[in-house]
Amino acid sequence: MSTKRNLLLAALLLTVRAASPSAAAEIALAAPSTLAFGRAVVTSEGTVVVSPEGDRTSTGGVTLIGGSASATSFTVTGDVDRAYSITLSDPATLSSGSGSMTVDTFTFSPTSSSWNLGAGGSQTVHVGATLHVGGSQAQASYTGTYSITVAYQ
């Protein structure tokens, strides 16, 4: 007999930092939206994956049952036509009481080879990730934070 648990796979909030050389216009990161994994029923260990486009899939004993899932997005602004880099605190942790889950494998759209502020001096980046759900994960609402830094290359 299997046990099913409903989980509210909550959101990751973002801590934002920007780094830029003093001679250049400051590179900035606009307030991001929330990365949310939605709700699921868990019968055994598995994952929930949210793509940069906001599509959600699951593996293992995790069945998606609704809730609001979304990729995060943010806009980077700075010098026109400047390349930049993004650094994330990977992995991140979602917690609720004594329970926790790991979030890793952050994916981006556009990909890192296309991080350039272009003629308008800005670019919007969408980010997805993978949430690892334990087989005995307690039913709860989980939340967490991660840090992101953008810098000119």
Q: Could you report the per-residue pLDDT of 99-129, keeping only the tens digit for each? A: 999 999 999 999 998 899 999 999 999 999 9
Buried-exposed string 34-64: b where 16+ CB fall within 10 A, e elsewhere: ebbbbbbebeeebbbbbebeeebebeebbeb
pLDDT of 58 higher than 50: yes
pLDDT of 11 higher than 60: no
150 confidence band (pLDDT: 50, 70, 90): very high
- The pLDDT assigned to 19 comes to 52
Q: What is the mean pLDDT of residues 118-144?
A: 94
CB count, 10 Å around CB of 100? 14
d(CA 89, CA 144): 12
> Which amino acid makes up residue 11?
A
Outline where the chain has alpha helix (H).
none
The parent domain of residue 62 ranges over 5-152
Number of domains in the chain: 1
- The pLDDT assigned to 14 comes to 43
d(CA 12, CA 27): 23
Are 101 and 133 contacting, i.e. CB atoms less than 8 angstroms apart? yes
d(CA 33, CA 126): 10
- The pLDDT assigned to 76 comes to 95
End-to-end CA gap in the chain? 55
Which token pair is 142?
A: 């989980």
In the predicted model, what is the mean pLDDT of the chain? Answer: 86
